[in-house]
Amino acid sequence: MATSIRDAAPADLTAITAIYAHAVHHGTASFELSPPDEAEMARRREVLIAGGYPYIVALRDDRIAGYAYASAYRPRPAYRFTVEDSVYVDPAFQGQGVGRALLTALIEICEARGFRRMIAVIGDTQSHGSIALHRALGFAHIGTIPALGYKHDAWRDTVLMHRPLSEGDTTPPA
């Protein structure tokens, strides 16, 4: 089954909101405890797009199978060439390469936009799939912050990974 990637559109927000709500309720990819509604998801998307960050969806048979976006790693100006990635896959499509397709496309788009480093902030050391996906796409483990958040009746670690984009830190940014 082929996966296609395109920019997310306002019409995709119902599916995006449902995918994220499932992740909030059942997983640790997000440390939010209550999923935002569609209006809030639309607002968040608009803020990212207005900031020059990519926000994309993966399609399988014309169905939204997942989405991904890049955002500012930190708000201070010195971090402006560093992005944080976020990837969410519909449970019906997990383990089928959708996450890989999304993250691969996100990396390529971020490189084309002049970003130099991508950070993955992975909720929980038990997120084996996300850790393996990032490792497979060139991310290196740079640390684990133990017991950073409390969700689903347990303390959760945060795993930090990173990868250079394009020329990384070998040349000054343009």
Count of beta carbons in the 10 Å neighbourhood of residue 10: 10
Q: Mind listing the domains of the chain with CATH numbers?
A: 4-164 (3.40.630.30)
Per-residue confidence (pLDDT) for residue 93, from 0 to 100 = 97
107 residue type, one letter: I
Per-residue confidence (pLDDT) for residue 8, from 0 to 100 = 98
**DSSP labels, 42-83:** HHHHHHHHHTT--EEEEEETTEEEEEEEEEES-SSGGGTTEE
pLDDT tens-digit series, residues 30-80: 999 999 999 999 999 999 999 999 999 999 999 999 999 999 999 999 999
Per-residue confidence (pLDDT) for residue 27, from 0 to 100 = 95
Both structure tokens of 71 = 């955002």
33: buried, middle or exposed (CB in 10 Å: 19+, 13-18, 0-12)? Answer: exposed
103 membership: H or E segment, kind and range: helix 98-112
Give the gyration radius of the chain's Cα atoms: 16
The beta-strand segments (E) located in the chain are 4-7, 55-60, 63-72, 82-89, 117-123, 140-151, 154-164
Per-residue confidence (pLDDT) for residue 174, from 0 to 100 = 82
pLDDT tens-digit series, residues 120-171: 999 999 999 999 999 999 999 999 999 999 999 999 999 999 999 999 999 9
pLDDT tens-digit series, residues 81-110: 999 999 999 999 999 999 999 999 999 999
Q: Over 80: is that where the pLDDT of 1 sits?
A: no
CB of 87 closer than 8 Å to CB of 54: no
d(CA 12, CA 1): 20
Q: How confident is the model at residue 24 (pLDDT cuts 50, 70, 90)?
A: very high
